[in-house]
Structure formats: C-alpha cells, structure tokens
Amino acid sequence: MREIALQPGADLAGFRQAVRGLVADGIPPEQIEWTVAEPSLFGAEPAGDARSDAPPLRLPRPVAELVEEVVPHRDPERYALLYDVIWRVTHGRRGLLEIASDPVVHRLELMRKSVRRDIHKMHAYVRFRQIETAPGEPERYAAWFEPDYFILQAATPFFVERFRAMRWRIVTPIGTAEWDGVTLRFGPSGSRADVPSGDAFEAGWTGYYESTFNPARANPKLMQQHMAKKYWRNMPEAATISNLVRSASSRVERMLEEGPTVPTKRMPEGALAAMLEQAPASLAELNAIIRSSGPLVPGATQAVVGEGPEHADIIFVGEQPGDEEDIQGRPFVGPAGRLLDRAMAEAGIDRKDVYLTNAVKHFKFEQRGKRRIHAKPTAGEVSHYRWWLMRELELIEPKLVVALGGTAVLALTGKQVPITRARGPAKLLEDFPGYITVHPSYLLRLPDEDAKRTAYTAFVDDMRRIRDMGRAARSRVAAE
C-alpha cells in the first residue's frame, strides 16, 4: 500500500506529480491510499512519498481537462477516482472517457458538472460594493462570496477579463483574489467583515429587481432551482423575495378585479401626423444626420458630405473620401479631386455649378507607417450608405447623375459593372438619366505617361458630353 498525502484544497500540482511517479512505478489504483494533509502543518510538503524525478506523463487532452476540472471538488474520493481513470487510459483504454455510462466516468462527470456550476454561480452572484477612495484615485470594489468548492483560481480570470479597468478584491472562506489593474494575486482567506456592508446602488438595484418581477407568473420553486437559498444572504436583492412572493397573488387578483379601465382619450392627431414626416426635409438636415453618425469602419476623422448647389443639374458620385478629404471634411479636394477640377474646367463645367458627393461618406484606410492607404469599400459598406445617397438624389433632383467608377455604379444600381464596357450614357436609376465614366483616381494610377495622356483626353471628352447632356436636359425641362 502506498500512501499519497496531498495538500488541502485543489492540489493540482501535487496530484500531477504523484500521478507521474505512480504510473512510472506501475502502481495500480487498488494499492494506493489518497489522503489530504492537515492544513499547513508542515507547510508545502512534496506529495506523500511520490518521487519528484518521474518523467512527465502524456495524457489525452480530454483526460487532462477532466483532472483540472475535478480537482477543485470537495469529494474526498476524487483523487482516487481520477487515478483509476488515468490508470485505465494509460493501460489500453484510451477512449475510456467516451463511455459516459462507465460508473467511474459518470461520477467524475457529475463532479465536473458541479464544479462548473459553482464557478458559473460565482460569476453570476458575486456582488461588488464600492470602497470609498480619495477623489482622483481609481475606484475600488470588494465582494464577499462563499463558493462550494476550491474554485477561486479557476473562477477569477473571468473577473479580470470583465472588470479590467477596476481595482477589486473577492474575499472568500477559501482565499482572496485581488486585482490591482495589472496583476491578479491570491492571498489567505478572509471574512465578510473585510468588505463594506453596503453600496449606494443596492437600493436602486433592488427596486429594479422588484419591478421586473411579474406577479402573474410567480413560480418561487422554479426560482430556487436556479438560485438556491444558500446564495441569498450575499445578494442584496434577495431580501425582498419573501415579500414579493407573499403579495403576488393578491396583486394579480387586484388586477383582474379592477378589470379594464376607461381609456384615456388621447388622439394626438397632430403628433401622429408630424411623426410621419420624419424624413430629412433638406440637404442641410440630411447632412447633419450623416455628420452625427459614426463610420461603419472605425478610423475616419469625420464624415465627408456632398457639396454644391441644393438643386444642381448634374451630380457626380465618387467612391469614398480619401486622406485629404478626410482631414478637410470636403469631397474631391485631394489629387483625384484636383484632376477632376482640371478636366471639368477644360470641358467648360464650373465646379461651383455641380454637386459632388461620394457613395461612401467615411474614409477607410490601412495604416502603413505614417501613411494612410486607401482601402476599397466592400459591397456591404456601399449598401449601408446607399440610403443616404438616395435621399441626396431625391432632394437635389438632378437632371443627370454621373457615376465615377465602379463603386459609384454599384451604389446607384446595386450591381457590379465593368466600367470600360458600360462607359457613356447609361440607365443607372429609374428617375434620372445617368452617365458612367472612370474615377479620376484611375487616371492617376496608370503606370506610363502615354496611357495617362490618352486616358485623360478620353476623360475630358466624357466631361464635354456630360456638360452637353446636362444642358440639353435643362432646356428640355425649361421647354416643358
């Protein structure tokens, strides 16, 4: 018979070390007696007569996990049962854990379940109370909690992930966890007296709890299945439970007896009518909305809204603002914008007469060193912004809509179209004549000078046709 004495609590390290030695020596489960040492009688002793030089033991992942999760349990037999499984797994039964109907596996699984549940309940029912601190100091909080098992180490990383910016302590009868904003430390157990006896928000929280309860559905048994009485003494809202349960049926009876009330005759016709006119009535209103909305992809400095006369004859739709536009908050003021200005001027279009806008209203980029490199908007992003673009068109009522490049076409029609083939007059939308040409940034990207020159000439030709189409449309409208 070998005796293995482990430390009280969840002695995972001791158990692991003992198991290595026992497996290496070929000691079967029935020859081992697992005991737990008296708390700190000799300090942290090595586990029983386990050897410390045994080679590490490779266990299948599911078995290692089971060990980790069961060790925090309080059942004195847990170590023996775990060793029984390890022994069988290392002696030809590698798939043992798959047999959930095996009596030992079944018992261990039940233990694992209760440990998980205990951890889960700790995450749920810890109630922090604020500790008074001097003004300017970080806020501090403390909680008292009584877990069933030795779960402090396993349960507290959750609180770090959730309350990273806070300083907090969780005090329990099995130890204390303390987070100072940087490190999580474990210390000796404490008592309820170590945390404040109340908190300024407990009354408000209890009030909320009372109000969110629907007396017509009272079912205290179901409540207790989820939230056993043992937790109540550390939950401020629980003080009100008995009262809520007692008064539930009379509250419901009153509701039923009182029956329907005479409705207040409220026919706010004016308000209801006004409510239907919520759509932005002017470009200024629309642009205010756009400016106050966040970018879809974080990063942009500001929204870049359209620019030009409220009822321009021609509207140019580009892709999205670039680096300079983003900083200045105006469309087409970067290199591509300057090129567009030049082409328009050569074709006799005055920039001040047309409306310039983008399919997407925020700059999206990839940061490379100090430079912000334009990133193409996705189809989803384009359709996000589509609603605004359509409102712009409705408010401006242009005679001609010019799509500069593929993204603009996508925004206007919902379809991807190859620009080179579709270039020229096009049916973009039901209500407005359209025209498709390239985006000026395309000209800037062309590699050689010859190609640039040819493309620019074609672009200016497009601008001339656009000018003529705009004029023709206006005189048509004037004649009607």
174-208 residues labelled b (16+ CB within 10 A) or e (exposed): bbbbbbeeeeeeeeeebeeeebbeebeeeeeebee
In angstroms, the CA 19 to CA 4 distance is 10
Tell me: does residue 458 bind other proteins (CB under 8 A). Answer: no
Residue 134 or 262: which CB sits closer to other proteins?
262
What is the identity of the amino acid at 293?
A: S
Cα–Cα distance for residue pair 321/443, rounded to 1 Å: 17
> In the complex, what is the shortest distance from the CB of residue 48 to other proteins, in angstroms, rounded to a whole number?
32
Compare residues 205 and 456 and give the one whose CB is closer to other proteins: 205
Q: Which stretch binds other proteins (CB under 8 A): 72-80, 194-202, 436-444, 460-468?
A: 194-202
Per rule CB under 8 A, is residue 69 in the interface with other proteins? no
Positions of E strands within 248-399: 314-318, 355-358, 365-368, 371-374
For residues 261-300, which are near other proteins according to CB under 8 A? 261, 263-266, 268, 271-272, 274-279, 289, 293-294, 296-297
199 binds other proteins (CB under 8 A): yes
Euclidean distance between the first and final Cα of the chain, in Å?
A: 109
Q: How far is CA 441 from CA 279, 336, 370, in A?
A: 34, 5, 21
Nearer to other proteins, 334 or 406 (CB): 406
Output 134 or 182, the one with its CB closest to other proteins.
182
Q: What are phi and psi of 300, to 5 degrees?
A: -65, 145
Q: Which helix (H) or strand (E) holds 21?
A: helix 12-25
Q: Closest separation between CB of residue 214 and other proteins, Å?
A: 5
Residues 306-345 that bind other proteins (CB under 8 A): none
Q: x/- contact string, 158-187, with other proteins (CB under 8 A)?
A: x--xxxxxx---------------------
Q: d(Cα 149, Cα 247) in Å, to the nearest integer? A: 36
Count, residues near other proteins per rule CB under 8 A: 92
Q: How far is the CB of 325 from other proteins (least distance, A)?
A: 21
- C-beta closer to other proteins: residue 276 or 478: 276
Q: Does 200 bind other proteins (CB under 8 A)?
A: yes
Binding mask 74-113 for other proteins (x = CB under 8 A): ---------------------x--xxxx-x--x-------
> What 8-state DSSP symbol labels residue 307?
B
Q: Closest approach of Cβ 28 to other proteins, in Å?
A: 21
Q: How far apart are CA 332 and CA 43, in angstroms?
A: 74
10 Å CB burial of residue 417 (0-12, 13-18, 19+) is middle
Instruction: Give the nearest distance from C-beta 314 to other proteins in angstroms.
Output: 25
Residues 116-145 that bind other proteins (CB under 8 A): 120, 123-130, 139, 141, 143
Collect all residues with Cβ–Cβ distance below 8 Å to 277 and sequence separation of at least 6.
none
259-267, 317-325, 425-433, 452-460 -> range binding other proteins (CB under 8 A): 259-267
Write out the binding residues for other proteins, residues 374-403 only, by CB under 8 A: 378-381, 383-384, 387-388
- Strand pairing report for 140-144 and 129-131: antiparallel
Instruction: Pinpoint the alpha helices (H) of 227-315.
Output: 241-258, 269-276, 283-292
Asked if 234 contacts 146 with a C-beta cutoff of 8 angstroms, the reply is yes
Establish if 260 lies at the interface with other proteins (CB under 8 A): yes
